[in-house]
Structure 1
Amino acid sequence: MDPRLKQLLEMTSLYGTLAKYYEHIDPEKHMYFYQKHFMYEKQLVQMYWALHESEHYHR
């Protein structure tokens, strides 16, 4: 697995978990972590498709 993709997966998971944890405890922290999660999630999807397309063209 590409190390950049692995790192984005880890960050997406971490911030998703923190957002879920704070969802009913602290709405402000929930939104902070959810925004981080969403930012990394978008980067993850973009990188996934970039790598997928790159693989497809190298075959």
Structure 2
Amino acid sequence: MKRPDMLYECLECGNQETVKSNDHKIDGRCCKVCGGHNMPKGYIGFDSAKNKGGD
């Protein structure tokens, strides 16, 4: 199963960035706008109801 992409948001300026699931640098990202710290906000393209039950 393909891993979903992640949405990151900057703690300082609120800028949001999409990170592809195959990107090797998932954690420790800096904001491209202000250089602040990005935190994961959620998954993109992931339907939890569809994947219920461990399929």
Query: TM-score w.r.t. structure 1 length?
Result: 0.29
The structure whose Rg is larger is 1
Determine which structure has the larger helix proportion and give its number: 1
Determine which structure has the larger strand proportion and give its number: 2
Query: TM-score w.r.t. structure 2 length?
Result: 0.29
